[in-house]
A and B are shown apart, each in its own frame.
Chain A
Amino acid sequence: MPNDRISELLRDANPVTSDPNRPTDVAWDDIVAAHEKGRSSSTRYRSHVKSSWTQPRRLFAVAAAVILIAGISTLVSVQDSGNAPSLTNAIARAFGVVNANASTSGSFTTVPASPQGSNLLTCPSSQVCYLESTSLVGGNGGDTATTIYRTTDGGTNWTSLTMPSAGSADTALSCSSVSVCSVGFLRAPNSSPSGPFPVGTVQSMLSTADGGMTWTSHVVAIDPVLGVNTAVDALLASAQGQWSQLQCFSAASCIAVALVPSDQPQEPYSGAPNASEFAGVQRTVVMRTDDGGVTWTSIVLPWSSNEDGSPGWSNAQAMVLACASKMNCLGLSLVLHSVVNNAQTSNVKVWRSSDGGATWQSSWAPAPAIASDPTTGLTCPTTLRCYATVQAGTINASVPEVMTTNDGGATWTFANPVAAGNGTSRVLLSSVNCATASTCWTAGEEWLNRAVTSQAAMWATNNSGATWTAVPLPSGLGFIHQVVCNAPSACLAVAQPPFKSGQTAPAGPLPGEILSNQS
């Protein structure tokens, strides 16, 4: 046979000439998700990188192989029994408590977790995480003080970072890499600040590029929104807003959400001007810096009427923000309605920006959603897919659900994780986070015994939120603030001790507890 005939024969034996199984958009979403989640961590996607095979690396490889073999064996045995492999089994095997009882053992005993729930965990890699912990100092009414802790071994050991000044970070902490982090920092004017926006408060952004060894600080003006009522403006002229959320994409580029005081009336005002009626009404401001916090630009989210057209407390709560990329962000805000027939109601407003926060489009979440959750209750693994924990139903009979969008927030579907596991117990979901675009965890707490005690609760999905499966957890854990997943085998969760009815929060900090699914 001449070569051209052989080549023709081989060409016709081409085994694959079809298009890919997955649509291009789906494949792109997965790649964006992996890119955003694992730029610095996903060893799965970096297997080609040449590296020296040190002894620890060899040991890790052996351990990984053992885990892989064990996993395969488990799945095969489940298949043999005629049941489909369940996500629960995999997670039950994977989740273990690094330090379930912080008061008796482990290195986390000195790490305080605030009973007010203002802790924030962020994991730029599967091994490196930063935990912001804000606690009351001096009991109720006292100052709040923030300490930031860092782990480089997936949560086993934590060290505190020395901050350049005392203050509070609340929930504004973000790391764009294992060593580059920024914190929105509040320094109160004295030991007894009063009101939500005490005069004299200084807001700043602290940044580190060396994992917290050194910090730079830039004062940030978070000004009030004025211009509606000149009598009130004078009272608020020197007030400053507060950081609510920070998300950084690099050492230079960050987007932030802040709550600021305004002279916007919270109800239609019919009487004589009275500053006290206006003070304390808050507006949501979105800010952005592209020079590491030196200069900022901002936009005030518009004050809108309620979904039914009636005026109300629009945007009285800070928008919860999640940006899948520097350009594409999605936000949720809780919009309280006016009191109608003595029944407070609310809805969830969806904000979308595809130009880095310069402009925003808004719409209403579907009817079941009546309240969005704190900053940890929203995550967008891709520009199109987001998950949010919400309260659904009516304000006096709401249930926790996970609200999912696959089109960047235009439409949403709902799933109730609780129905899949723990019956009719009252559950509060506080956090949702994803390892991939389709594999996510949501966590919070479950009240038992007629709301006398509570315990930690967690559910997982591996089908993009269509169904959720209860994740078995060790006993002795209370409210889970947050779950953070950086890779399929690298999740951490922050929990508090279980709460019992009648218990009063101690003046000092409560110990926090760290859950890990890393063996």
Chain B
Amino acid sequence: MANIPAPPEETSSDSFEAFFRENYSNLWRYVARRLTLSQADDVVSASFIVAWEKYSTADAPTLAWLIRIASYEVANAQRKQGRERRHSIAIVQEEFAVPIRDEFDGSSVRSALSALGDADQEILRLILWDELSREDIAQILNLSINAVNVRYHRALQKLERSIVVPHHIYPMKDIHDA
């Protein structure tokens, strides 16, 4: 037998690790904005596991492609969370995400956001919190770019109608004068 030669590079595995490292933080924030922090790590892991299985056959793995995968995991986790709350078994204080750099208490804005429909909430989060491009969002939501824009502006209008922001809690910007 000949000596063992250096085997072919595992390009798929190696490149997936690079893909993971490039997108890990962004995906974690995407997930943490939609779930509790205690759920985020597991859901991010689950998303990357699925992504790894699909990675070699994906046409062009991108963050948008990854978020589309993660969106299923987030939805499942939200359904599970809903079931557990209905059963009211676990008497555990959920560790919800808290603002990290807010200069004001954004709870009223987030409360207004949560009053919108799921589709409206998601388009606003994708654009304003995840800061994804319209092209990426179109891929994630399986919409045209034009449809993304239309849905975004409608969602903003709905948010404006539902939002109640006392002037004193946002003193740095005079939002009512413009």
Q: Do A and B come together as binding partners?
A: yes
> Which residue numbers of A lie inside 8 Å of B, CB to CB?
1-22, 24, 27-28, 30-31, 34-35, 38-39, 42, 44-48, 69, 72-73, 76, 221, 223, 286-288, 290, 296-299, 325-327, 355-359
Min CB distance, A84 to chain B, in Å? 14
Q: Give min CB distance, A261 to chain B, whole Å.
A: 15
On whether the beta carbons of A7 and B156 are closer than 8 Å, the reply is yes
Set B41, B44, B97, B175: member contacting A15, Cβ < 8 A: B97
Across the interface, do B104 and A12 meet the contact criterion of CB distance under 8 Å?
yes
Question: Once the chains bind, are A69 and B89 in contact (CB under 8 Å)?
Answer: yes
Q: Is A45 within 8 A of B49, CB to CB?
A: yes
Indicate if the CB atoms of A13 and B102 lie closer than 8 Å: yes
Residues of A within 8 A of B10 (CB): 325-327
Return chain B residues, CB-CB under 8 Å to A299: 3-4
Do the beta carbons of B1 and A16 come within 8 Å of each other? no
Would you call B60 an interface residue if the criterion is a C-beta within 8 Å of the partner chain's C-beta atoms?
A: no
In the complex, the 9 A-B pairs of residues with the closest C-beta atoms, listed nearest first: A13-B106, A48-B72, A356-B7, A13-B109, A20-B28, A45-B49, A297-B4, A298-B1, A16-B32
The answer to whether B20 touches A19 (Cβ under 8 A) is: no
Minimum distance in angstroms from A80 CB to a CB of chain B = 9
27 cross-chain CB contacts under 8 A = A8-B175, A9-B109, A10-B113, A12-B102, A12-B106, A15-B99, A15-B100, A17-B29, A18-B29, A18-B100, A21-B37, A24-B24, A24-B25, A31-B45, A35-B52, A39-B53, A45-B49, A46-B50, A48-B50, A48-B73, A69-B87, A76-B89, A287-B1, A287-B4, A290-B8, A326-B13, A327-B13
Per the bound structure, the CA–CA distance linking A16 and B92 in Å amounts to 22
The answer, among B24, B75, B127, B175, for a CB contact under 8 Å with A5, is B175
Give chain A residues whose Cβ lies under 8 Å from the Cβ of B178: 1-2, 4-5
Q: In the bound complex, what is the Cα–Cα distance between A5 and B167 (angstroms)?
A: 13
Whether B128 contacts A10 by the Cβ 8 Å rule is yes
> Does B160 reach chain A (CB closer than 8 Å)?
yes
In the complex the two chains form, is B1's CB within 8 Å of A297's CB?
yes
* Shortest Cβ gap from B26 to chain A (Å): 10
* A47 in contact with B53 (CB, 8 Å): no
**Apart from A3-B156, A14-B106, A31-B52, what are 15 other A-B pairs with CB-CB below 8 Å?**
A4-B178, A6-B160, A14-B102, A15-B106, A16-B129, A22-B41, A31-B48, A39-B53, A42-B49, A46-B49, A48-B76, A296-B1, A297-B5, A326-B10, A356-B6
B114 smallest CB distance to A (angstroms): 11
- B66: Cβ under 8 A from any A Cβ: no
Flag B102-138 by CB within 8 Å of A: 1 or 0 each. 1110110110010000000000100111000000000
Complex Cα–Cα for A19 and B41 (A)? 12
Q: Does B101 sit at the interface, judged by CB under 8 A?
A: yes
With A6-B163, A17-B100, A21-B41: A325-B13 Cβ-Cβ less than 8 Å: yes
B4/A27 in contact, CB under 8 A = no
Residue tally, chain B, CB below 8 Å to A = 69
A27 touches B128 (CB 8 A): no
What's the minimum C-beta distance from A227 to chain B, rounded to whole angstroms?
A: 15
Name the residue of chain B whose CB is nearest to the CB of A13: B106
Which residues from chain A contact B6 at a C-beta distance below 8 Å?
355-356, 358-359
Asked whether A297 lies within 8 Å of B2 as measured between CB atoms, the reply is yes
CB distance from B169 to the nearest CB of A (A): 11
Q: How far is the CA of A4 from the CA of B127 in the complex (A)?
A: 12
Q: Tell me if B165 is interfacial: C-beta within 8 Å of chain A.
A: yes
Out of A11, A35, A76, A356, name the residue touching B49 (CB < 8 Å): A35
Q: How far is the CA of A18 from the CA of B2 in the complex (A)?
A: 52
Instruction: Check B25 against A358 for contact (C-beta < 8 Å).
Output: no
Given the complex, which residues of B lie within 8 Å of A9, measured CB to CB?
Answer: 109, 163, 165, 170, 175
Indicate if the CB atoms of A10 and B89 lie closer than 8 Å. no
Q: Does B86 reach chain A (CB closer than 8 Å)?
A: no
Given A48-B72, A296-B1, A298-B4, A6 contacting B156 (CB threshold 8 A) = yes
Asked if B151 is at the interface (CB within 8 A of a chain A CB), the reply is: no
A411, chain B: closest CB distance, angstroms? 23
Bound: A13/B37 CA distance, A: 17
Determine whether B21 belongs to the interface, using a CB cutoff of 8 Å to chain A. yes
Determine the residue in chain B with the shortest Cβ distance to A69: B89
Q: Nearest residue in A to B27 (C-beta to C-beta)?
A: A20
In the complex, the answer to whether A72 meets B37 with C-beta atoms within 8 Å is no
Q: Is the CB of B159 within 8 A of A10?
A: yes
Separation of A158 and B176 alpha carbons in the complex (Å): 74
A13→B99 contact, CB < 8 A:
yes
Could you tell me the distance in whole angstroms from the C-beta of B162 to the nearest C-beta in chain A?
10
- Nearest-neighbour CB distance to chain B for A59, whole angstroms, equals 18
* Residue of A9, A18, A46, A326 with most partner-chain B CB within 10 A: A9
Query: For the complex, what is the distance from the CA of A35 to the CA of B53, rounded to whole Å?
Result: 9
- B163 contact set on A, CB distance < 8 A: 1, 6, 9
Shortest beta-carbon distance, A41 to chain B, in Å?
12
Asked whether any CB of chain A lies closer than 8 Å to the CB of B150, the reply is: no
| Contact yes or no, A288 B7, CB < 8 A | yes
Chain A residues positioned under 8 Å from B128 (CB to CB)? 7, 10-11, 14
* B176 touches which of A1, A12, A15, A357 (Cβ 8 Å): A1
A24 CA to B163 CA in the complex, in Å? 37
CB distance from A294 to the nearest CB of B (A): 12
- Chain B contacts with A in 31-50, Cβ cutoff 8 A: 32-33, 37, 40-41, 44-46, 48-50
| A23 vs chain B, min Cβ distance (A) | 10
Q: Using Cβ atoms and an 8 Å threshold, which residues of chain A touch B50?
A: 45-46, 48
Give Cα A197 to B32, complex, Å: 60
Bitwise interface map of B from 141 to 163 toward A, beta carbon under 8 Å scored 1, else 0: 00000000000010011011001
Contact of A1 among B29, B32, B127, B160 (CB under 8 A): B160
Decide if A10 touches B109 in the complex (CB within 8 Å): yes
Contact of A47 among B21, B37, B73 (CB under 8 A): B73
